Amino acid sequence: MQHIEKRVVELIEEKIADRDDLFIVSVKMHPNKILEILLDGDKGINIDDCAQVSRHVGFHLEEENVIDNAYRLEVSSPGIDANFVNIRQYQKNIGRTIQVKLIDNTKIEGTLVALDDTKINVLQKVKEKGKKAQEVEKKLPFDQIKATKVVISF
């Protein structure tokens, strides 16, 4: 399976090489023979981008006979409620409200305001009893983060 995923990543990178705004979130061949490709873009990704990648990858996998048996190819963007898996997802969501679950299972919700290679900065509203809420900037190292996702508010 590693060989298949590696080849798929190469094919995707080849297809999106001229699109600096698009990036790979994940490529996974599931045991049930579904080849799942998740893509995203700095300003989102549209159905045409997914279709072009699907055609390119599907064509080359068939031509090269990379996968011996039947499989289903699914190309999409990660859902809005999906956990972040790479730094570009953090970058594209600066200014949005996120929920971060730390490895000790503490949950922190606030606005993602900055990041670097080692940590993210989240502006969190903290309210003490009898006092006005204050905004506190927390620095959260990536090695302490278990999961992060955008908070959807209506």
Domain chopping of the chain, boundaries: 2-76, 87-150
DSSP three-state, residue 22:
strand
pLDDT score, position 127: 81
pLDDT score, position 153: 80
**In the CATH scheme, what architecture does the domain 87-150 have?**
Roll (2.30)
Helix, strand and coil content of the chain, in percent to the nearest 5, comes to 25, 40, 35
Q: Residue 36: pLDDT band by 50, 70, 90 thresholds?
A: very high
Q: Residue 1: pLDDT band by 50, 70, 90 thresholds?
A: low
- Burial letters for 69-104: b for 16+ Cβ neighbours within 10 Å, e otherwise? eebebebebbeeebebeeebbbebbeeeebebeeee
Tokens of 2: 């590693």
Residue range 48-69: mean pLDDT, rounded: 94
Tokens of 139: 């620095």
Tokens of 62: 């068939």
CA-to-CA separations, 146 to 15, 31, 88, 149, in angstroms, rounded: 31, 25, 17, 11
The pLDDT tens digits of the residues spanning 79-133 come to 888 999 999 999 999 999 999 999 999 999 999 999 999 999 999 988 878 888 8
Based on its alpha-carbon atoms, the radius of gyration of the chain, rounded to whole angstroms, reads 19
pLDDT score, position 38: 97
Identity at 25, one-letter amino acid code: V
Residue range 8-23: mean pLDDT, rounded: 96
pLDDT score, position 9: 96
Tokens of 6: 């590696």
Neighbours of 108 (CB within 10 A): 16
According to CATH, the topology of domain 2-76 is GMP Synthetase; Chain A, domain 3 (3.30.300)
Asked whether residue 138 carries a pLDDT value surpassing 90, the answer given is yes
pLDDT score, position 3: 87
